[in-house]
Structure 1
């Protein structure tokens, strides 16, 4: 399996071939600014003690405090966290929010722990990392297998350790009573939809004839599918981890949601044909939204994709080889660092509200998110046209320009 950090550096190198950056700046971007590894002893329910390894990688803070999630997974390792911290720096700079890039993790199978053990583990990670965390230093958020519950524990433990009065702003993705933001739960899907609206205008795709396929029916995928449907677009294909469904006349996304809740799968939905995830990616459509796992669009299937545009709501759904095929076929791929940045954008809004002791309405959050995502797409598209490159390459160039300017290298 390819090393994720090596992949990240390849993306950096590609952007550096398109635009001149200072060698000193590029050298700094190839390294994390700080990497912390801690041992977290946890007393288990059976009275034994287990030691877990926790990480925090702080890649770059030129644009603002380090920002990025904390994931709990048995395969989490430093290379993965290092790559994710780099991508967070890029993502925050692409959308132009004053945050840097960081990422955290604990090597653990969360399914094997009780709620009490999870709380002890989370509070232990927070105590170990407290010297480097802070509202103006490093601000974690939820990621794989972490939720608002864990974020509330982090904020509470951070306050116990530091007595920092701005403790609510040390972490985002909290529950609403603990200082979370309205609109955070749907932010990734909302942001992806706003990017789609901007892209449709640029490509001149007619609303009435725009067919959409969404792979993945989790938080972001389901939300985007619902927004497409509510706004009059024809959603012809949907899928989850068990398989997909297809109806060329369009699917009632709300009804699919009810069916999925009842049966735990989108398949066998009345009036739709069951298909595989592989078949779903090759359906006739104008817009394809991969919102599931990484490496779904590969050199094997890229030639068969019939979409006119791809919007990456999942992290890393397109392999570099597939990217090259899409570039040759002139199919724009809006990259994950832009398309799914709605989540971190509303995380920044949450931090801003906590720092100012404000509470914004859901409507205010949506308007600000819409403006931010479309402005980011405009800047990236302008760069794509100027450099005659892919949307992904343009996004990296825009981000790197902003970070270099902030660093003053």
Structure 2
């Protein structure tokens, strides 16, 4: 379970960022543009009250959410976030980005997202389990393997998914493994799921670097966020010959021009649950992270990290968005002006939802694949998705982000158009 507490602007700006991205893509959609408002309105938003009896006998109330943004291409898909800053605007934005992400990678899903406004690290395991089970019972009316399939996100993990699956199954009267993904392998989870998002960041980064003439071997990489996504992406880049020179988490910013020993840092983090105090690198000021000499930046924390001011400082050639919505539109523009290539989140970090799709398929068939098979299938899907986006960017003379939105929105709105409106 990853704990992050980076400073960011209000969550309302996440939804605003998404709407601005839709405004930018609309002129490229031709006749489909008449359906664009479909993307500006979530299909369904559920707000639930979650009463919880604490270990000391007191009763506290927490607010939970589940938003289904668009279901034109299939059941909703998206994680559940436990974080003190979760609110409806943030969950709406995250669900919308899931709609775009699933379509950009051509998975048969719509977009959804959920969350509870809570610091999970302030709860005992028993309190966390009771919170999760009550939340599951409250949102159980709209989730299901053919309706909406949750997954882990910030503050949740495989154990939380197991509690959700069990609660939903008890209420249904039969075991329903396909109601969530990201479960433990022995409960119907998929091999390769935990590392999938970070692996996808590497795959898309590798493909774009090759097309842009950026050599990975010898390149300098900086990573914000050292959870499942950031640590796996960093490891794969290091294996490919890159030097990971800077890493930032909620506790510290580390810098070592010669390269950080990732195995040693991983061991330190496992023991101390933070990277602060690691002896193999120099601790620098958090804002200095954005001025470190680097070739590749991987923001793999929370949304709203690359502001206009930070975009002006960055000294890199390639940004790989491991997090959802880390770059503000004005920062996007500034990076483009400076010749920095941004691989957008909706493709770059889609490895997780891709392997979640594999997990769902395996659960439906009760037939499971090897990790090698899963990695090969993911590599093919991610490579094809990145190739489609790159070609669309070349065709339309636009950024990779706009190209990804064109590809995704064409697929979503074509489905919306062909399904029609019921009742007519």
Quickly name the TM-score band, shorter chain normalised: over 0.9
TM-score computed with the length of structure 2 as normaliser? 0.90
Alpha-carbon contact 1:239-1:280 (below 8 Å) kept: yes
The match for 2:265 is 256
Residues 4-15 of structure 1 mapped to structure 2, 5 A cutoff:
4-15=14-25
The match for 2:212 is 203
The match for 1:279 is 288
Structure 2 counterpart of 1:78, from 69, 88, 105: 88
Aligned length: 408
Structure 2 counterpart of 1:345, from 341, 345, 354: 354
Bigger shift: residues 178-187 or 311-320: 311-320
Change (3 A) 1:21 1:242: farther
User: How far apart, CA to CA, are the structure 1 residues paired with 2:31 and 2:49?
Assistant: 38
Residues 15-54 of structure 1 mapped to structure 2, 5 A cutoff:
15-54=25-64
Deviations 1:232-251 (A, max 9, x none): 22223233333333333333
The match for 2:322 is 313
Bigger shift: residues 110-119 or 66-75: 110-119
Report the Cα offset of residue 302 of structure 1: 1.7
TM-score computed with the length of structure 1 as normaliser? 0.93
User: How far apart, CA to CA, are the structure 2 residues paired with 1:47 and 1:285?
Assistant: 52
Structure 2 counterpart of 1:118, from 128, 136, 147: 128
Change (3 A) 1:217 1:129: closer
Alpha-carbon contact 1:229-1:252 (below 8 Å) kept: no
Alpha-carbon contact 2:308-2:328 (below 8 Å) kept: yes
Alpha-carbon contact 2:20-2:329 (below 8 Å) kept: no
In structure 2, runs of 5+ residues without a counterpart are: 1-9
Change (3 A) 1:265 1:403: same
2:113 aligned with 1:103:
yes
Bigger shift: residues 36-45 or 219-228: 36-45
Report the Cα offset of residue 379 of structure 1: 0.8
Bigger shift: residues 138-147 or 40-49: 40-49
SS at match of 1:71: strand
SS at match of 2:186: coil
Residues 183-198 of structure 1 mapped to structure 2, 5 A cutoff:
183-198=192-207
User: How far apart, CA to CA, are the structure 1 residues paired with 2:298 and 2:348?
Assistant: 10
User: How far apart, CA to CA, are the structure 2 residues paired with 1:51 and 1:247?
Assistant: 45
The match for 1:239 is 248
Alpha-carbon contact 2:29-2:410 (below 8 Å) kept: no
Change (3 A) 1:119 1:259: closer
Report the Cα offset of residue 32 of structure 1: 1.2
User: How far apart, CA to CA, are the structure 1 residues paired with 2:301 and 2:58?
Assistant: 37
In structure 1, runs of 5+ residues without a counterpart are: none
Report the Cα offset of residue 363 of structure 1: 0.9
Residues 356-371 of structure 1 mapped to structure 2, 5 A cutoff:
356-371=365-380
User: How far apart, CA to CA, are the structure 2 residues paired with 1:294 and 1:339?
Assistant: 14
Report the Cα offset of residue 269 of structure 1: 5.0
User: How far apart, CA to CA, are the structure 1 residues paired with 2:117 and 2:256?
Assistant: 42
User: How far apart, CA to CA, are the structure 1 residues paired with 2:262 and 2:389?
Assistant: 31
Deviations 1:372-394 (A, max 9, x none): 11111111111111111111111
Alpha-carbon contact 1:123-1:154 (below 8 Å) kept: yes
Alpha-carbon contact 2:261-2:280 (below 8 Å) kept: no
RMSD: 2.1
